[in-house]
């Protein structure tokens, strides 16, 4: 039976992850993500799962990939400074197509910033995490309830498309409490990892040819496979450096498998967009301030709407472009110095007005500030 | 068809021959490991080998087990995840002196501290081979490398001292010069429950050997007859007599520390309300 509970974002995230089948968590303490590690350390052993506190974030990202290869759904959670350290091994997960979920509870600033305060400065760090061209799926919830349901979707996408999936929250969403509905297990769609059924001697762990996604055999299941962070072919072994066709093919495969399934991966919310002359692009918790401002502006007769990507990356640009085509003005509202505004610019006309509401003072942007900006932009 | 050799099943025939230079010690360590796996009866299906980056780490390419060729220094951290997720697996890390004790040093000491049941085989050739012969944390003081052209001023790590002090419960040094000893040492390491470390002294004739004018591969190999000293004998020697020597043998073989996956299994029982 579904239940109603009051919990914080970090609590909902942990419970949701376990409902999704997470049985391995490796992490390293960092504000404002620590509660996810704490709760995981308490809950996972109760469900025959494992919590590992690693020596650093490099090790945490490595350990979840090892655990995933051995058959467990695995996650880590961190914030900016730790996220930066994780890029290296998350890149390995992308290249070797090992599923896992990486949570970034964003905090203010570059470097250490302000550890306890929220921000959205990692949107682009998430998009470009790890060097080289690589696939990226990132999900950004706007409420505690959505944190619960969307972390489950993050695990599902990770398993379906054999790739690390990012989940971006922020310090305020992580620590605020809301009443949420916890769905009954029977209501949840949980993607279990398929296992190969072919002859073990014929098993190939990858399929570059058709952007294919081969079931990843659990280590120890009798299917022996090899993975390398080097550019490889279907066998997992490095391609010869002269084989430019295979090198290009393997690189395109990683992006291609996401592109091929973009409709299943992308998700967004449209709020009062139908007749919107002003369209606001906003992501995460701050989008709720945007909604409040929109309601107030509409009372004054201003036709304004919100476009909120829930899948932040790959950015739902096709739909956003359809909506911007109908709008006179495009606004962005984000808790950083202008990252979504650069994205918005790609989907607007040369003479279309773009108004960027940015803020990086460690607080959530208030509706009043947004309302004033809407009035000015009109 | 040619006759099957007992060790054939361990190798991916299509990946051979190896990428290693003639005279490189990596092959001797690899074949000693395969012999040890055979003699310990470790099933291939349940064996996972994990490596980082470097000439030595390429060893996993040739083994017919599940294998991860991971990022530089990170093999032990990946291995920790594999072992914790499925303690029934036999997890072996193949690494080098730079991979294990420089970029991966933190993971190494923490795995020792946890005493998790992983076997770490460190092929120690005193330099970075793959990048062309730069100095590593085990390069002897005074030695020449591409980044110590005036002689190395650093003091090297003794990997066995490091591992033992960090809590590893089986620590031994062996050498490619004595493959039987190496095989037997690897066997003990594989059979040991807990974190086992084998510091496998090896030669890189192409770089370290050439840069230090140690002669060709056979000459380098013969050199071990002069510099390698068994632990028992070393105990009878003075510090002066031991200068420039490499002491090999078993340095640690403890049974008094609990193994990490077993400890975690006990924690689970406690969490689930058992004793
Ligand atoms: S460079 Fe040195 S370590 Fe690398 S394969 Fe050649 S001899 Fe071996």
Nearest residue, CB atoms, B71 vs list A26, A52, A89: A89
Cross-chain Cβ contact B264/A50 below 8 Å: yes
Does the interface ipTM go beyond 0.95?
Answer: yes
Percentage of chain B modeled with pLDDT above 70: 99
Tell me the average pLDDT across B41-69. Answer: 96
Token pair 């400074």 in the structure block, residue = A81
Nearest residue, CB atoms, A219 vs list B15, B89, B264: B89
Is A74 in the B-facing interface, judged by CB distances under 8 Å? Answer: yes
CA distance A154 to A17: 9
Residue A104: closest CA among A149, A57, A167, A34 = A167
Query: Which two structure tokens, joined as six digits, stand for B128?
Result: 């970075």
Residue A350 confidence (pLDDT): 77
Best B64, B68, B75 residue to mutate vs chain A (most A CBs within 10 Å): B68
The domains located in chain A, with CATH, are: 3-187 (3.40.50.970), 200-263 (no CATH), 270-377 (3.40.50.920)
Best A22, A70, A96 residue to mutate vs chain B (most B CBs within 10 Å): A70
CA distance B256 to A332: 62
The model's pLDDT over B147-168, given as tens digits with 9 standing for 90+, comes to: 999 999 999 999 999 999 999 9
From the number of C-beta atoms within 10 Å of its C-beta (0-12, 13-18, 19+), residue B213 rates as: exposed
Tally Cβ neighbours within 10 Å of residue A210.
10
The answer to whether B58 touches B98, Cβ cutoff 8 Å, is: no
The answer to whether B70 touches B100, Cβ cutoff 8 Å, is: no
Mean pLDDT of successive 10-residue segments in chain A (378 residues)? 96 98 98 98 98 98 98 98 98 98 97 96 96 95 98 98 98 98 96 96 94 96 96 95 94 96 98 98 98 98 98 98 96 98 92 93 98 96
Nearest CA to ligand 1 atom 8: B24
Nearest CA to ligand 1 atom 4: B129
CA distance A74 to A66: 9
The model's pLDDT over B203-226, given as tens digits with 9 standing for 90+, comes to: 999 999 999 999 999 999 999 999
Cross-chain Cβ contact B45/A26 below 8 Å: no
> What is the SS3 string spanning chain A?
CCEEEEEEHHHHHHHHHHHHCEEEEEECCCCCCHHHHHHHHHHHHHHCCEEEECCCHHHHHHHHHHHHHCCCEEEEEECHHHHHHHHHHHHHHHHHCCCEEEEEEEEECCCCCEEEEECCCCHHHHHCCCCCCCCCCEECCCCHHHHHHHHHHHHHHHHHHCCEEEEEEEHHHHHCEEEEEECCHHHCCCCCCCCCCCCHHHCCCCECCCCECCCCCCCCCCCCCEEECCCECCCCCECCCCCHHHHHHHHHHHHHHHHCCHHHHCCEEEECCCCCCEEEEECCCCHHHHHHHHHHHHHCCCCEEEEEECEEECCCHHHHHHHHHHCCEEEEEECCCCCHHHHHHHCCCCCCEEEEEECCCCCCCCHHHHHHHHHHHC
Residue B275 confidence (pLDDT): 55
The domains located in chain B, with CATH, are: 8-269 (3.40.50.970)
Nearest CA to ligand 1 atom 6: B21
pLDDT at B2 over 80: no
The ligand 1 site (C-beta within 6 Å) comprises B 20-21, 24, 26, 55, 125, 129-130, 204-207
Tell me the average pLDDT across B25-40. Answer: 97
The answer to whether A165 touches A74, Cβ cutoff 8 Å, is: no
Residue B152 confidence (pLDDT): 98
The model's pLDDT over A235-277, given as tens digits with 9 standing for 90+, comes to: 999 999 999 999 999 999 999 999 999 999 999 999 999 999 9
CA distance A202 to A216: 14
Tally Cβ neighbours within 10 Å of residue B104.
29
- From B15's Cα to the closest Cα of chain A, the distance in A is 9
Residue of A nearest to B90 (CA): A220
Tally Cβ neighbours within 10 Å of residue A200.
13
pLDDT at B1 over 70: no
């Amino acid at each position: 039976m579904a239940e109603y509970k009051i919990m914080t974002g970090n609590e909902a995230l942990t419970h949701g992850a376990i409902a999704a089948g997470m049985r391995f968590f490796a992490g390293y303490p960092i504000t404002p993500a620590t509660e996810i590690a704490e709760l995981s350390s308490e809950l996972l052993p109760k469900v025959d799962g494992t919590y590992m506190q690693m020596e650093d974030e490099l090790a945490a990202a490595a350990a979840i990939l090892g655990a995933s290869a051995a058959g467990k759904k695995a996650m880590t959670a961190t914030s900016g400074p730790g996220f930066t350290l994780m890029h290296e091994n998350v890149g390995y997960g992308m290249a070797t197509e090992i599923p896992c979920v990486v949570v970034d509870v964003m905090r203010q600033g570059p470097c250490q910033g302000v550890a306890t305060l929220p921000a959205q400065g990692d949107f682009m760090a998430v998009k470009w995490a790890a060097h080289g061209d690589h696939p990226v799926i990132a999900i950004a919830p706007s409420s505690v309830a959505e944190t619960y349901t969307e972390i489950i979707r993050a695990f599902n996408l990770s398993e379906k498309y054999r790739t690390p999936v990012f989940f971006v929250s922020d310090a305020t969403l992580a620590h605020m409490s809301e009443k949420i509905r916890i769905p009954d297990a029977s209501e949840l769609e949980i993607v279990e990892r398929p296992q190969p059924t072919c002859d073990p001697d014929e098993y190939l762990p990858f399929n570059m040819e058709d952007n294919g996604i081969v079931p990843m055999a659990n280590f120890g299941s009798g299917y022996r496979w090899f993975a390398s962070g080097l550019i490889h072919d279907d066998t997992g072994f490095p391609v010869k450096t002269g084989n430019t066709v295979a090198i290009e093919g393997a690189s395109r495969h990683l992006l291609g498998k996401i592109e091929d399934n973009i409709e299943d991966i992308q998700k967004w919310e449209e709020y009062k967009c139908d007749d919107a002359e002003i369209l606001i692009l906003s992501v995460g918790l701050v989008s709720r301030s945007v909604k409040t401002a929109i309601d107030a502006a509409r009372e004054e007769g201003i036709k304004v709407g919100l476009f909120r990507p829930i899948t932040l990356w790959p950015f739902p640009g096709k739909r956003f472009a359809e909506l911007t085509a109908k709008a006179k003005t495009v606004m962005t509202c984000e808790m950083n110095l202008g990252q979504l505004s650069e994205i918005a610019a790609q989907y607007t006309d040369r003479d279309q007005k773009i108004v960027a509401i940015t803020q990086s003072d460690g607080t959530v942007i208030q509706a009043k500030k947004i309302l004033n900006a809407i009035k000015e932009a009109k | 068809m040619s006759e099957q050799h007992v060790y054939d099943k361990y190798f991916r025939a299509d990946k051979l021959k190896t990428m290693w230079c003639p005279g490189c010690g990596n092959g001797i360590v690899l074949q000693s490991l395969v012999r040890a796996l055979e003699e310990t009866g470790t099933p291939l299906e349940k064996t996972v080998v994990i490596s980082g980056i470097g000439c030595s780490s390429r060893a996993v390419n040739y083994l017919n087990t599940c294998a991860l060729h991971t990022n530089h220094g990170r093999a032990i951290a990946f291995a920790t995840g594999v072992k914790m997720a499925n303690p029934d697996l036999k997890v072996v890390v193949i690494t080098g002196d730079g991979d294990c004790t420089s970029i991966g040093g933190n993971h190494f000491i923490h795995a020792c501290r946890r005493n998790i049941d992983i076997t770490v085989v460190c092929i120690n050739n005193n330099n970075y081979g793959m990048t062309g012969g730069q100095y590593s944390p085990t390069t002897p003081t005074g030695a020449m490398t591409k980044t110590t052209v005036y002689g190395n001023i650093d003091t090297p790590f003794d990997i066995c001292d490091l591992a033992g002090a960090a809590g590893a419960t089986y620590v031994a040094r062996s050498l490619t010069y004595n493959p039987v000893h190496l095989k037997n040492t690897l066997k003990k390491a594989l059979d040991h429950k807990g974190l086992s470390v084998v510091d496998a002294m090896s030669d890189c004739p192409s770089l370290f050997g050439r840069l230090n004018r140690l002669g060709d591969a056979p000459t380098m190999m013969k050199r071990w007859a002069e510099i390698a000293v068994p632990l028992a004998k070393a105990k009878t020697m003075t510090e002066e007599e031991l200068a420039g020597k490499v002491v090999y043998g078993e340095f640690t073989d403890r049974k008094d520390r609990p193994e990490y996956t077993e400890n975690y299994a006990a924690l689970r029982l406690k969490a689930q309300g058992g004793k």
